[in-house]
Chain A
């Protein structure tokens, strides 16, 4: 009955590799997000998608490419991984983008470690 799920939970890889993180939500929400949480626990928005359409791109390097095959899925592909990409990446979803009351529901996070 997981509402927002992410795979994998842990990802350890070498610098320069390309990797993907998958996210799925079964809440019927229209909007999905990717957040990055750094080692100091600071949580920052990376992308948001509404009905498969990119809405927010927070000046994230273009090595990061989100892909939304349908509104229930938002995957994150990262090319040429760098040490500074090590973080916990959270996927989230909300009912609709255009609302101040819009509560976001988070996935369990993916801890990415780049060696």
Chain B
């Protein structure tokens, strides 16, 4: 079973509008971390935002916010005021484990296209 599911292979958004990229996860752990990374066409992986499973408030970093709904096991990324430079692949990831070892698992990604 997939641990991280990103159901939107591709998304379009108009410049200056907000967009939500979906991510659901599957874990039986109580403690875990959720991440979003951006991969532009140049190929590098850029860390965007982190949410801990015990964090009560949704994480925000500039124009990025994470809509964390623990009961639904979802961690959607919201990008406000989209810019052309936001066009990229976006990966949701989950870090889980224990003292025996931690592992980060990535979703399949969502490609975002921002239209002028």
Chain A interface (Cβ within 8 Å of chain B)?
A: 40-45, 55-56, 88, 90, 92, 97-109, 111
Contact = CB atoms under 8 A, between A and B. Distances in A.
A46 B37 CA distance: 18
Interface of B: 31-33, 35, 37, 39, 43-47, 50, 52-53, 89, 91, 95-97, 99, 101-106, 108-109
Kindly name the residue among B33, B43, B89 whose own CB sees the greatest number of chain A CB atoms within 10 A. Answer: B43
Contacts of B96: 100
A106 B37 CA distance: 10
A27 B23 CA distance: 30
A12 B105 CA distance: 28
A59 to B, nearest CB: 13
A99 B32 CA distance: 9
A9 B37 CA distance: 20
Contacts of A56: 101, 103
A56 B89 CA distance: 26
Nearest to A50: B101
B45 A90 contact: yes
Given A90-B45, A108-B44, A100 B95 contact: yes
A100 to B, nearest CB: 4
Given A41-B109, A103-B47, 8 more contacts: A42-B106, A42-B109, A56-B103, A100-B52, A102-B102, A104-B35, A105-B47, A108-B43
Contacts of B50: 101, 103
12 contacts: A42-B109, A43-B106, A45-B105, A55-B101, A90-B45, A97-B102, A100-B97, A101-B52, A102-B102, A103-B47, A106-B44, A106-B46
